[in-house]
């Protein structure tokens, strides 16, 4: 089934559509070289194509005969002979002029030469099927493309270079060895006998379980690197949430008014600071007796608070007003607003960060508190290891950990035959294998590659 999908030659624009200096059109598959010869200036690519050497020439449209075709652009053709290409197949990349038409006409010419338009992520999918990338490395390609901060780009490139694969291999290899020892002995060892001593098996399983735990600890960091850190500003009406939101953004995005209940919807904005993306959400003020419309805003505030990674709880009077956020699971930083108006020695603001959105006082300390809270999310660890877990990895790793725990439990509570141990171990390895793509199904590939863009 997989063979069929990589029989034909595919083409797509690899750079974004629109005006720009250059555009790259990618052609990949068995017929890429002969097709490139047909659209590229006669004789330029030579009889024996020189791999990885760019050739300058004219690109032609393809009408029914080459004689009637007309020039569409002038640029470079870079042929790469498989397996030494991104997809592992014969590939030609055409570097033509940017803008709407030139690249589109090059794609059209390649299609006239017999290439099929590539689907989303189809080049990367081929790279995976041809063994050039593991599945999590292919996902790292998408993460790199979608990265909004330096930290997420650095994490993605490390994963692309094999970060997560190394961690997975460290867990998988001892389990695979254990399984092969168990399976290898099944035919020779008498029934009821066991090939590997239980305490040795247990030690290997427990170490694997710890390895999976360590990876799972980095799951929140994966999401935060991909999405940014959601910080919700909450508190009673009129305490200065919108003003602080604007001060953090250094621009006027939220409406500030001295009448309570101005912000009825959630206003969101993104700030990139030291390579980390923060997503701030200004919310409707929380109070006990809101009107009907205001209540809708407050419901949204609660939704935001429940999904927040960090909450800034604001108050402009004495006392932290902590009861307002009862049940909130995210870390809360308490902020005493409008500190320019009060004499700090007179107030009872213990444990709160004094800030003034008017004078800017305390803003740096607030940023420092945010940075400190972010450190608890292990982003740096995930970046340096190249482990950016997504929902798919998380689900597989959790299942794998649950299966490992069941097997450990079984072995603890009494003798387990080699056949049963082997079967359970194979199930664990299959879950682990789906993270890297060592084990995969068509359905799995569909779900992974659907979030890629065409041309990647």
The correct pick among 195, 249, 296, 358 for binding ligand GDP (CB under 6 A) is 358
Q: Is 237 in the site for ligand GDP (CB under 6 A)?
A: yes
Sequence-ordered strand ranges (E) for 31-90: 55-60, 71-80
Q: Which is nearer to ligand GDP, 204 or 358 (CB)?
A: 358
The correct pick among 9, 238, 276, 349 for binding ligand GDP (CB under 6 A) is 238
The CA distance from 253 to 246, in Å, is 6
Smallest separation (angstroms) from ligand GDP to the CB of 311: 14
Q: Is 266 in the site for ligand GDP (CB under 6 A)?
A: no
Smallest separation (angstroms) from ligand GDP to the CB of 284: 8
Parallel, antiparallel, or unpaired: how do β-strands 332-336 and 310-315 relate?
parallel
Is the backbone of residue 413 left (phi > 0), alpha (psi -120 to 50) or beta? alpha
The site for ligand GDP, by CB under 6 A, has a size of 20
Are the CB atoms for 386 and 161 separated by under 8 Å? Answer: yes
Are the CB atoms for 426 and 193 separated by under 8 Å? Answer: no
Q: Is 241 in the site for ligand GDP (CB under 6 A)?
A: yes
The CA distance from 367 to 251, in Å, is 16
The CA distance from 10 to 2, in Å, is 15
Q: Which residues have CB under 8 Å from 342's CB, separation 6+?
A: none
Are the CB atoms for 267 and 231 separated by under 8 Å? Answer: no
The correct pick among 78, 239, 308, 389 for binding ligand GDP (CB under 6 A) is 239
Smallest separation (angstroms) from ligand GDP to the CB of 241: 3
Cα 392 versus chain centre, distance: 11
Q: Is 395 helix (H, G, I), strand (E, B) or coil?
A: helix
Smallest separation (angstroms) from ligand GDP to the CB of 260: 6
Structure tokens at 236: 């009673």
Smallest separation (angstroms) from ligand GDP to the CB of 367: 16
Smallest separation (angstroms) from ligand GDP to the CB of 350: 20
Structure tokens at 1: 């089934």
Q: Is 149 in the site for ligand GDP (CB under 6 A)?
A: no
Alpha helices by DSSP H, 113-197: 122-129, 135-146, 150-160, 163-186
Residues written for the chain: 456
- DSSP structure class, residue 194: -
Q: Which is nearer to ligand GDP, 285 or 422 (CB)?
A: 285
Smallest separation (angstroms) from ligand GDP to the CB of 234: 9
The correct pick among 201, 242, 315, 436 for binding ligand GDP (CB under 6 A) is 242
Alpha helices by DSSP H, 254-351: 292-307
- In this chain, which residue has its C-beta nearest to ligand GDP? 240
- Site mask for ligand GDP (CB under 6 A), range 270-309, x = bound: ---------------x------------------------
Q: Is 380 in the site for ligand GDP (CB under 6 A)?
A: no
Q: Which is nearer to ligand GDP, 137 or 243 (CB)?
A: 243
Q: Is 356 in the site for ligand GDP (CB under 6 A)?
A: yes
Smallest separation (angstroms) from ligand GDP to the CB of 310: 18
Look at the alpha carbons of 428, 429, 431, 435 in this order and tell me if their dihedral is positive or negative.
positive
Are the CB atoms for 205 and 172 separated by under 8 Å? Answer: no
The CA distance from 56 to 25, in Å, is 15
Q: Which is nearer to ligand GDP, 112 or 363 (CB)?
A: 363
Q: Which is nearer to ligand GDP, 367 or 440 (CB)?
A: 367
Q: Which is nearer to ligand GDP, 275 or 360 (CB)?
A: 360
Q: Which is nearer to ligand GDP, 223 or 338 (CB)?
A: 338
Q: Is 334 in the site for ligand GDP (CB under 6 A)?
A: no
Interface of this chain with ligand GDP, residues 47 to 106, rule: CB under 6 A: none
Neighbours of 414 (CB within 10 A): 6
The correct pick among 256, 373, 416, 454 for binding ligand GDP (CB under 6 A) is 256
The correct pick among 79, 82, 222, 240 for binding ligand GDP (CB under 6 A) is 240
Residue identified by tokens 């799972």 is 216
Are the CB atoms for 49 and 81 separated by under 8 Å? Answer: yes
Q: Is 321 in the site for ligand GDP (CB under 6 A)?
A: no
- According to DSSP, the residues that pair with 26 across neighbouring strands are 12, 93
From 43-51, 59-67, 131-139, 233-241, span contacting ligand GDP (CB under 6 A): 233-241
Residues of this chain that interact with ligand GDP (CB under 6 A) are 237-243, 256-258, 262-263, 285, 337-338, 340-341, 356-358
């Amino acid at each position: 089934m997989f063979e069929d999908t990589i029989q034909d030659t595919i083409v797509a624009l690899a750079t974004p559509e629109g005006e720009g200096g250059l555009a790259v059109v990618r052609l990949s598959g068995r017929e890429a070289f002969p097709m490139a010869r047909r659209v590229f200036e006669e004789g330029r690519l030579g009889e024996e194509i020189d791999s990885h050497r760019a050739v300058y020439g004219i690109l032609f449209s393809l009408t029914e005969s080459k004689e009637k075709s007309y020039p569409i652009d002038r640029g470079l053709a870079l042929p790469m002979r498989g397996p030494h290409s991104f997809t592992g197949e014969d590939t030609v990349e055409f570097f033509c002029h940017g803008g709407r038409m030139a690249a589109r006409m090059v794609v059209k010419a390649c299609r006239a030469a017999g290439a099929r338009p590539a689907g989303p992520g189809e080049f990367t999918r081929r790279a995976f099927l041809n063994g050039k990338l593991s599945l999590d490395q292919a996902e790292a390609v998408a993460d790199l493309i979608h990265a909004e901060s330096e930290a997420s780009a650095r994490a993605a490139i490390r994963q692309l270079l094999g970060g997560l694969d190394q961690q997975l291999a460290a867990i998988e290899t001892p389990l695979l060895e254990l399984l092969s020892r168990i399976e290898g002995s099944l035919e020779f060892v008498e029934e009821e006998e066991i090939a590997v001593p239980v305490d040795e098996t247990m030690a290997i399983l427990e170490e694997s379980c710890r390895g999976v735990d360590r990876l799972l600890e980095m799951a929140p960091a994966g999401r935060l690197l991909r999405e940014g850190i959601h910080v919700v500003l909450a508190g009673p009406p009129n305490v200065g949430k919108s003003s602080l939101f604007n001060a953090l953004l250094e621009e006027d995005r939220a409406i500030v008014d001295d009448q309570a209940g101005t912000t009825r919807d959630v206003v969101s904005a993104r700030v990139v600071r030291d390579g980390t993306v923060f997503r701030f959400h200004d919310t409707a003020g929380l109070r006990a007796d809101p009107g009907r419309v205001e209540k809708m805003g407050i419901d949204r505030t609660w939704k935001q608070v429940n999904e927040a990674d960090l909450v800034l709880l604001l108050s402009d009077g004495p006392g932290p007003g902590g009861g307002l956020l009862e049940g909130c699971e995210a870390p809360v930083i308490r902020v005493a607003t409008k500190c320019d108006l009060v004499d700090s020695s007179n107030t009872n603001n213990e444990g709160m960060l004094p800030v003034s959105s008017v004078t800017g006082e305390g803003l740096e300390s607030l940023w420092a508190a945010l940075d400190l809270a972010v450190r608890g999310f292990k982003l740096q660890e995930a970046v340096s290891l190249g482990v950016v877990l997504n929902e798919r990895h998380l689900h597989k790793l959790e299942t794998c950990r649950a299966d490992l725990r069941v097997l450990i439990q079984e072995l603890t509570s009494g003798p387990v035959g080699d056949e049963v141990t082997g079967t359970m171990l194979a199930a664990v390895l299959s879950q682990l294998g789906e993270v890297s793509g060592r084990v995969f199904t068509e359905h799995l590939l569909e779900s992974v590659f659907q979030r890629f863009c065409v041309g990647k």
